[in-house]
Structure 1
Amino acid sequence: MRHELFRAATLVGISAITGWAGWSGYVLLLPVAGALPLLWSLARTRLQAAAVSAAYFLAASRGLPQGVANFYGQDIWAGLLLWFVASSAFVTVHSVLWTDRKGWQKPLRYMAAGVMMAVPPFGILGWAHPITAAGVLFPGWGWWGLAAMAAGLAVMVTSHGPVVVIVMAGFWLRSAAEWTTPDAPAAWAGVDLEMGASLGRDTGLQRQEDLIDVVRSRPPGTTIVLPESALGFWTPTVGRVWQRALSGTGNTVIAGAAVIDQSGYDSVLVKLSTDGSQVLYRERMPVPGSMWQPWLGWIGDQGGARAHFFANPVVDVGNQSVAPLICYEQLLVWPILQSAFHRPDVIVAVGNGWWTKGTSIIDIQQASSKAWARLFGLPLVISFNI
């Protein structure tokens, strides 16, 4: 009995280390997360599988309690509650599908768990998915790299798991030796801001002028990306202010904003130029709980951000096809894969992460974006506010 308890505790401890290290915010450490299926397969009971899954997910998402406390200005207890609630989908899927049967039952079940955590509805909380490491292990392989990673994760739960670990370690070392961070395309620039919680909330003319000054400092003919919520509430008046300000620059601006109506709001990216303005992209998956609150409609209430799950996977900016990812979408699997299916020319990843102070959440988001960009060999433009 003591030996079994020690074994189970060791598995849980290693799983926690795997989640912590793999999702530390360093892109080259993402392959550590690939050890999860091996640890999951070593569980001897469903309870152990649940404990291994919980340890991994809670360690990977450890910044959530502090982030929630920062966002709502409350103590950490509300964040801890949400942290455990958020882990429920991951733990449930991996514990229900666990099996101790030999043969192909186990890899098939793990593949099913991986797919379920990659797409809605469970994929809505599908953070820390090991498949994200495909971009580090197989940069430039595209869909073949994704397939190779998926196959490797599935085979890892069989008796051939140690061999797969050695092979993946070889790809990891090679990739680390040759790694280059994806750059922005020529004549594109992502702007990072340090405006804290005021970004998106201060909607006065002075704030717009401050942002315009940032844009006008860029060379003529540049496409400039500003963070999520940069423009605040989107109105025709804001559009006219920017259109006049961009006159003579030849610059195009892509910036985050919020479009509000009686039923709620959309988190969007807006395109601005001397030719006018338009809503370019509507966020497919806002942050559940703090932004996306579907239960309000169930009780006859209104408000909250709308989720456009599979809408506008790519948008056109000039002659470039763009795959947009706003904040939370960078932590998930299906938004980037849906966009990649449409063969974009560039990935644009924006966020407003002032509330992540004291956590590695922004680093994790950017590491994920870099990994996906490297997998598909795409340029990447990043713009965040802290």
Structure 2
Amino acid sequence: MFNKQHPLFLWFVWLYCALAGLAWGHLPGIWATAPALPLPILIPQLPRASRRFIAALIYFLVGSFSIVHGSTEFFGAGSGDGGGLADGMGLAAGMGWSFWIVSSILLALPWLIARNPLLGVLAVLIDALPPLGLIGWLSPLAGAGVLFPGMGIYGMALLLIVWGLWSVQRWGKWIAVESLAVALVANAIAVFSPLQGAIPTPTIDGWVGLQTHTGELVTPLQGVESAMRAGQMALAHPKAAVVVFPETIAGHWLPGTQAALYSEYQQRRNKAQIWLIGAVTIGKTHRWDSVLEYAPSVSKSGRIVARTALPVPISMWAPWANDRYGATWYEPVTKIGEQRVFTSICYDQALPWVWLEAVWQHPDVIIATSNVWWASKTDIPAIENENTAVWARLMGAGVVMARNG
């Protein structure tokens, strides 16, 4: 047996936490989430609360370092939704460093109580659920999709049970080890078999996600132009049943934008084709990061089929400020065509509590839309993709991704 008090064990845990954080955005596909799986078992082996806190802090600091560069780009843009909050790149950079450090400290705090794996599970849940869940990305809960594909809520329950069994004496540990080993070996055989190769993200026949590079939209005219370019891209897929546009690619959903895009939609050759368009809709008290549907029976104003559960805190969702984005908190599954669809918009893709809403509703299709021009040089788009792929795998759902990078 290892000596938990030995300095080498302490450094091993800290090093492992750093590598688990580094895996996000760097290992391929769903495997980026796998190294975090042992953390609720490993970190509680450290006997002192301060050492457990440092271990968790290392994990979150390393895994979320992209916040620094992403925030600098976003807040330093100087215009649009995110710019204007920070005047000058210096202040923007300071905000980025502050967000990175403060969010990591907050997410590490629950691990002070993680004296055993049961309390380690509690720490994971505290980080995953609001209020800390509002910034609670990089959750080990995502690993359920690695171990238990297609099992949905039952797979999530099994992961929590396996973690908790480690708190039981010898027989519990053996069951936990054997369960994790069998699941990992079975998945490794499936993923890396010569016939299959690396596991792909499941797709849906006839559904197409557009990949654009428009950048930030500042003026209404830019929104009209962006919408028309995206509409032309959609017309290049005449055989598609559904075409998914990136988040806010149409800018603010104003009459001019609606008329221009609806004109494009009427030119489609497949008259049954559906377009799902990312745009900012205007409510009485808030703006909404939305997805609208154009279908044969829908008017040019479109039908709102989804709104983001939680826009990015501070930059978009700020309850203390006027003219900011609203949060719906719960994202219901919507029937589109013949499929039950869960729509995950940008920041929602990083949040485990939003994915748990999807798991509970067991959709057929996951639509993942993002507008990540500000994060194109960071790991943030990759982390969103990894989360989407692994949670969809847990649900056995197909995925359609649409990105504006």
Change (3 A) 1:207 1:29: closer
The answer to whether the Cα contact below 8 Å between 1:229 and 1:352 also exists between their aligned partners in 2 is yes
TM-superposed CA distance for 1:202, in Å, is 5.7
Change (3 A) 1:357 1:244: closer
Gaps of 5+ in 1: 100-105, 297-301
Residues 96-145 of structure 1, C-alpha deviations (whole Å, 9 max, x = no match) = x223xxxxxx3332232222222211211211111101111111222221
The answer to whether the Cα contact below 8 Å between 1:200 and 1:257 also exists between their aligned partners in 2 is no
Q: Please, what TM-score do these two structures have when normalized by structure 1?
A: 0.88
- The question of 1:154 aligning with 2:164 is answered yes
Residue identity matched to 1:174: A
- The question of 1:98 aligning with 2:114 is answered yes
| Structure-2 residue corresponding to 1:11 | 13
- What number of residue pairs does the alignment pair up? 371
Partner Cα distance (2:23, 2:201) in 1: 22
Partner Cα distance (1:202, 1:178) in 2: 49
- The question of 1:54 aligning with 2:79 is answered no
Partner Cα distance (1:121, 1:205) in 2: 37
Q: Give runs of aligned pairs for residues 140-219 of structure 1, distance below 5 A.
A: 140-156=150-166, 164-165=176-177, 167-179=179-191, 180-198=199-217, 203-219=222-238
Partner Cα distance (2:168, 2:65) in 1: 29
Change (3 A) 1:154 1:19: farther
Gaps of 5+ in 2: 77-88, 192-198
Q: Which of residues 279, 293, 297 in structure 1 aligns to 2:304?
A: 279
Partner Cα distance (2:222, 2:165) in 1: 53
The answer to whether the Cα contact below 8 Å between 1:242 and 1:272 also exists between their aligned partners in 2 is no
- The question of 1:288 aligning with 2:300 is answered no
TM-superposed CA distance for 1:166, in Å, is 5.8
| Structure-1 residue corresponding to 2:195 | none
Q: Which of residues 132, 136, 150 in structure 2 aligns to 1:122?
A: 132
TM-superposed CA distance for 1:242, in Å, is 2.4
The answer to whether the Cα contact below 8 Å between 2:152 and 2:362 also exists between their aligned partners in 1 is no
Change (3 A) 1:5 1:182: closer
149-158 or 376-385: bigger deviation = 149-158
- The question of 1:266 aligning with 2:288 is answered yes
Q: Give runs of aligned pairs for residues 219-234 of structure 1, distance below 5 A.
A: 219-220=238-239, 222-234=241-253
Partner Cα distance (2:189, 2:218) in 1: 39
- The question of 1:334 aligning with 2:356 is answered no
The answer to whether the Cα contact below 8 Å between 2:21 and 2:62 also exists between their aligned partners in 1 is yes
47-56 or 232-241: bigger deviation = 232-241
Change (3 A) 1:44 1:23: farther
Q: Which of residues 67, 71, 75 in structure 1 aligns to 2:74?
A: 71
Residues 167-211 of structure 1, C-alpha deviations (whole Å, 9 max, x = no match) = 424422321332332332221101111222348976354333211
Partner Cα distance (1:281, 1:183) in 2: 22
| Structure-1 residue corresponding to 2:326 | 306
Partner Cα distance (1:80, 1:18) in 2: 21
Partner Cα distance (1:114, 1:266) in 2: 30
Q: SS of the residue aligned with 1:229?
A: coil
Q: SS of the residue aligned with 1:271?
A: strand
61-70 or 159-168: bigger deviation = 159-168
Residue identity matched to 1:286: P
The answer to whether the Cα contact below 8 Å between 1:313 and 1:335 also exists between their aligned partners in 2 is no
- The question of 1:257 aligning with 2:285 is answered no
176-185 or 280-289: bigger deviation = 176-185
Change (3 A) 1:68 1:171: same
Partner Cα distance (2:44, 2:152) in 1: 28
Partner Cα distance (1:223, 1:133) in 2: 30
The answer to whether the Cα contact below 8 Å between 1:199 and 1:230 also exists between their aligned partners in 2 is no
Partner Cα distance (2:217, 2:382) in 1: 21
Q: SS of the residue aligned with 2:222?
A: coil
Partner Cα distance (2:224, 2:385) in 1: 31
Q: SS of the residue aligned with 2:258?
A: helix
Residue identity matched to 2:285: S
Change (3 A) 1:289 1:176: farther
Q: SS of the residue aligned with 1:382?
A: strand
Change (3 A) 1:214 1:85: same
Change (3 A) 1:284 1:375: same
Q: Give runs of aligned pairs for residues 18-37 of structure 1, distance below 5 A.
A: 18-22=20-24, 24=26, 26=28, 27-37=30-40
The answer to whether the Cα contact below 8 Å between 1:22 and 1:29 also exists between their aligned partners in 2 is yes
| Structure-1 residue corresponding to 2:81 | none
TM-superposed CA distance for 1:6, in Å, is 5.5
Q: Which of residues 82, 87, 99 in structure 2 aligns to 1:82?
A: 99
Q: Please, what TM-score do these two structures have when normalized by structure 2?
A: 0.84
TM-superposed CA distance for 1:268, in Å, is 0.6
The answer to whether the Cα contact below 8 Å between 1:36 and 1:56 also exists between their aligned partners in 2 is no
Residue identity matched to 1:126: G
Q: SS of the residue aligned with 1:117?
A: helix
